[in-house]
């Protein structure tokens, strides 16, 4: 499959009479965007707010982050199986991207695992979304609405708005075009016979209770391990629908811009032969963990891989899925490298992961989520601070009278993401 990604660089966002791009500026019309979803009887009210890098702005509670894209040619549509309910395979043709812009959905928490994006200050250093030009969709749910219904409404609103904004890129000439291509397994293996055949095992959060990921519109807990072309991710085939711990969270934006996929493509044909992505889920029951880890090992063997990278989303229970995948793939003679974050406690003296196997002897750390920082007060809050102390990473006394926040970096969106989109790591001494 061959996908051309045409990037239109966005340098600023502003409100305007219509939603369009002009001279590198993305203009959005608030009424135009809100009218897309406000008739939803699960939503009481909504507003659109803008946040730019360097501003004294705090966005919270953040539910998802998405990048505006549009399918210009090739099969399918952006966010297949969800927006417009058109279920066709994506990942080829051309897709245009409003690069630098992001849609951020914001609303009251339903548990404790939504988080913060600061646009300046120390908190901004921990999240990639302090660097994006953010169109914030702030949603107020109807009174008494059930949690899953509210989360679904917020998720759908974000997807609809993102898809609509992406249409502004359809007829624009890209500033840059990147080409991503892989062949069928046999043909791909023959192209670079002297390079190691490398795959990527992407573990999707699917533990339920608002911990969900969707693949072509299907809840990932219903799938078995599946081989996907990496370019399918770039067209929105995988979307976030979960409230996993904020620092671990893989928003839809990161599935669209998976740094590991991009790095493997960068080295493809030079240092390695990138053979494809195996997606699998993170299960609650042992039988499901056994079934899916068996499937991951089987696919890696059938692809005749020399090595795989394995990532996870979340921590604790998913650490067992991570280790089972590692052990079974290694037992098939395939080398593994794990990418994860750590939770050793504030003093660093606890076990970093909830599970371990001897085969897990190559691991990349994306930092530890128990670090405590103090984020300064901001001039403007998009959303509300009322639930700061009940969010994961927060605690009684986290929110100070002056508006500053003392908390573990768990509270910051994607601060220790296992996709490696951050600046944190750890080294053994």
Alpha-carbon distance 353 to 339, whole Å? Answer: 12
Tell me the Ramachandran region of residue 19: left when phi exceeds 0, alpha when psi lies from -120 to 50, beta otherwise.
beta
* Residues 359, 221, 392, 57, CA torsion sign: positive
Alpha-carbon distance 266 to 249, whole Å? Answer: 24
Token pair 């089987």 is at which residue? Answer: 298
Of 211, 195, 191, the residue nearest 203 (C-alpha): 211
**Helical segments of 226-379, H only:** 230-234, 252-256, 259-267, 286-302, 317-331
Angle at 110 between CA 391 and CA 85, to 5 degrees: 125
Tell me how far CA of residue 334 lies from CA of 177, 198, 281, 289, 292, in angstroms: 34, 10, 20, 20, 17
Which member of 202, 243, 247, 326 is catalytic? 243
Sheet with 218-219, strands from edge to edge, namely 218-219, 213-215, 238-240
Classify 134 as helix, strand or coil: strand
Q: Which helix (H) or strand (E) holds 226?
A: strand 226-228
CB 5 within 8 A of CB 95: yes
Pairing of strands 363-368, 335-342: parallel
Is 421 known to be catalytic?
A: no
Alpha-carbon distance 279 to 416, whole Å? Answer: 21
Token pair 């960068």 is at which residue? Answer: 266
Residue 382's DSSP bridge partners are 59
Burial string for 56-92 (b: 16+ CB within 10 Å, else e) reads ebbbbbbbbbbbbbbbbebebbbbbbbbeeeeebbbb
**Helical segments of 74-184, H only:** 147-166
As annotated, the active-site residues are: 243
């Amino acid at each position: 499959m061959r996908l051309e990604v045409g990037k239109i660089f966005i340098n600023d966002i502003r409100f305007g009479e219509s939603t369009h791009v002009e001279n590198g500026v993305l203009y959005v019309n608030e009424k135009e965007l809100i009218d897309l979803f406000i008739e939803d009887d699960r939503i009481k009210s909504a507003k659109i707010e803008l946040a730019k890098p360097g501003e004294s702005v705090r966005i919270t509670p953040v539910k998802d982050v998405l990048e505006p894209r549009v399918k210009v040619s090739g099969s399918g549509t952006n966010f297949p199986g969800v927006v417009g309910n058109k279920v066709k395979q994506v990942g080829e043709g051309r897709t245009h991207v409003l690069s630098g812009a992001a849609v951020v959905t914001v609303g009251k928490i339903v548990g404790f695992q939504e988080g913060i994006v600061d646009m300046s200050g120390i908190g901004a250093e921990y999240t990639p979304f302090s660097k994006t030009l953010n169109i914030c969709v702030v949603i107020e749910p109807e009174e008494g609405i059930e949690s899953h219904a509210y989360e679904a409404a917020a998720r759908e609103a974000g997807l609809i708005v993102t898809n609509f904004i992406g249409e502004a890129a359809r007829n624009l000439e890209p500033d840059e075009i990147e080409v991503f291509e892989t062949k069928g397994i046999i043909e791909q293996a023959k192209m670079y016979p002297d390079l190691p055949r490398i795959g990527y095992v992407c573990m999707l959060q699917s533990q339920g209770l608002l911990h969900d990921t969707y693949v072509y519109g299907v809840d990932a807990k219903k799938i078995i391990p599946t081989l996907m072309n990496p370019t399918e991710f770039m067209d929105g085939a995988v979307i976030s629908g979960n409230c996993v711990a904020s620092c671990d969270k893989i928003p839809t934006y990161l599935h669209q811009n998976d740094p590991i996929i991009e790095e493997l493509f960068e080295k493809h044909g030079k240092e390695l032969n990138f053979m494809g992505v195996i997606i699998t889920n993170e299960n609650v029951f042992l039988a499901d963990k056994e079934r899916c880890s068996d499937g991951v090992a089987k696919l890696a063997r059938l692809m005749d891989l020399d090595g795989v990278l394995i990532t996870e989303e979340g921590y604790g229970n998913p650490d067992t899925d991570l280790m089972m995948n590692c052990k079974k793939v290694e037992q098939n003679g395939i080398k593994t490298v794990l990418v994860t974050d750590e939770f050793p406690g504030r003093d660093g003296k606890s076990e970093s992961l909830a599970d371990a196997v001897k085969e897990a002897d190559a691991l990349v750390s994306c930092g530890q989520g128990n670090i405590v920082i103090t984020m300064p007060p901001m001039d403007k809050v998009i959303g509300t601070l009322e639930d700061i102390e009940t969010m994961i990473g927060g605690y009684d006394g986290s929110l100070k009278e002056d508006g500053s926040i003392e908390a573990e970096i768990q509270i910051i969106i994607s601060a220790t993401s296992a996709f490696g989109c951050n600046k944190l790591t750890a080294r053994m001494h």
